[in-house]
Amino acid sequence: MSDKQKLLVVEDETTLRETLMYNLKREGYEVIGTGDGSEALELAREQKFDLIVLDVMLPSLDGLSIVRILRKEQRTPIVLLTARSGEVDRIMGLETGADDYIVKPFSLGEFLARVRAVLRRAAPEVSAKLEAGDLSLDLIGRKAYRGGEELRLSHKEFDLLAALIKNTGTALSRDRLLQEVWGYDFPGDTRTVDVHIRWLREKIEKDAAEPKHIVTVRGVGYRFE
Ligand code: CA
């Protein structure tokens, strides 16, 4: 498994596509490329990308149509490449849902800066805050609140609660929680999880003896409700 961010580059001018791909790879991204609109749509549906660089004029299916279709299905950030500045008004006026655009010809430095900016804008939105009922977690400030009041959680309690809320409705085994919160190399055993769950329940449940949020799933582990 790779933790590299994965980008799709859709551009039918082969030299430009290869140049962009080469430089994005050098920046440390995993990059897949195509010059065909229909193939781009297929790829975007089959694989998960962190960002799509999309030329407007493409064979078989144009970039603006691709954006319109994808926006009904996913929120993957899209940066449009357009040949004429005259197209920009139309692109933005149509409110296609693209996150940014670059007018050709552009410098590589400008292109890479735009890509980085869009990725940066996209990332915190999905991961900065977790909410579940009257609980909310600020993942950047590492603060937890219940009904607006800050909870005093230890480092591990915070991580454990975040892991549970991220998987709301799914039963998580003690081993899985150990791996997610303590890491693979942690020498402790699964009772560590039980102890921290007990502490966490005392802090977040109205009645720790009758937990409504962190439910025990017999033979498996715990589930957040
Ligand atoms: Ca083109």
Q: Is residue 179 part of a domain?
A: yes
Q: Is residue 200 part of a domain?
A: yes
For the record, the structure tokens of 20 come out as 């962009």
For the ranges 2-6, 68-72, 182-186, the maximum mean pLDDT occurs at 68-72
| pTM score of the predicted model | 0.56
- Residue 124 pLDDT greater than 70, yes or no: no
Distance 114 CA to ligand 1 centre (A): 19
Residues 61 and 162 in one domain: no
Q: Return the pLDDT at 200.
A: 95
- Residue 93 pLDDT greater than 80, yes or no: no
Phi, psi of 103 (to 5 degrees): -90, 130
For 166-215, what is each residue's pLDDT tens digit?
989 999 999 889 888 887 666 667 888 999 999 999 999 989 899 999 99
Q: Is the peptide bond before 77 cis (omega within 30 degrees of 0)?
A: no
Residues 86 and 140 in one domain: no
The residues placing their C-beta within 5 Å of ligand 1, an ion, are 12, 55, 57
Q: Return the pLDDT at 1.
A: 43
Is the separation of the CB atoms in 166 and 181 below 8 Å? Answer: no
Distance 42 CA to ligand 1 centre (A): 18
Q: Which of 93, 122, 151 is the last residue of a domain?
A: 122
Number of domains in the chain: 2
Residues 141 and 212 in one domain: yes
Distance 57 CA to ligand 1 centre (A): 4
